[in-house]
């Protein structure tokens, strides 16, 4: 929960699952509340949230993510981090 007026970008960094909600997979956000004219309204990362706003994050589909330029780098980085965290086999 955030108590001050902050952009959606800051709300994402304070979420419970920041790894899943990376900025590279964000497509848009739906916002309900007093900070928007229409409920719900499509908003980007720079939209400023007010008190008691409700935000739904919509991510890109798998096909849209694969079309990105840096998809292979992100997948390789995730794989490398997974292998580093996993314990080596006992021989």
What are the residue boundaries of the structural domains of the chain, listed by start? Answer: 6-85
pLDDT at 3: 64
Indicate the fold that domain 6-85 takes in CATH: Ubiquitin-like (UB roll) (3.10.20)
Give the pLDDT mean for 75-82. Answer: 90
Query: What is the rounded average pLDDT of the residues 2-10?
Result: 76
CB 26 within 8 A of CB 64: no
Alpha-carbon Rg for the chain, nearest whole angstrom, is 17
Residue 91, CB-side half-sphere exposure with 13 Å CA sphere: 2
For the stretch 18-63, pLDDT in tens is 555 567 778 888 999 999 999 899 998 889 998 888 888 888 888 8
pLDDT in the model for residue 32 = 94
d(CA 13, CA 32): 20
**pLDDT at residue 27 in the model:** 84
Residue-level pLDDT at 70: 84
CA distances from 1 to 6, 9, 10, 54, 70 (A): 11, 14, 11, 11, 31
């Amino acid at each position: 929960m955030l108590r001050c007026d902050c952009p959606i970008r800051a709300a994402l960094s304070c979420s419970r699952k920041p790894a899943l909600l990376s900025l590279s997979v964000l497509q848009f956000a739906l916002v309900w509340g007093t900070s928007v004219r229409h409920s719900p309204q499509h908003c980007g990362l720079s939209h400023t949230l007010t008190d008691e706003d409700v935000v739904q994050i919509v991510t890109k589909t798998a096909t849209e993510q694969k079309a990105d330029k840096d998809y292979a780098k992100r997948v390789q980085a995730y794989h490398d981090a997974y292998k580093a965290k996993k314990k080596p086999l006992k021989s």
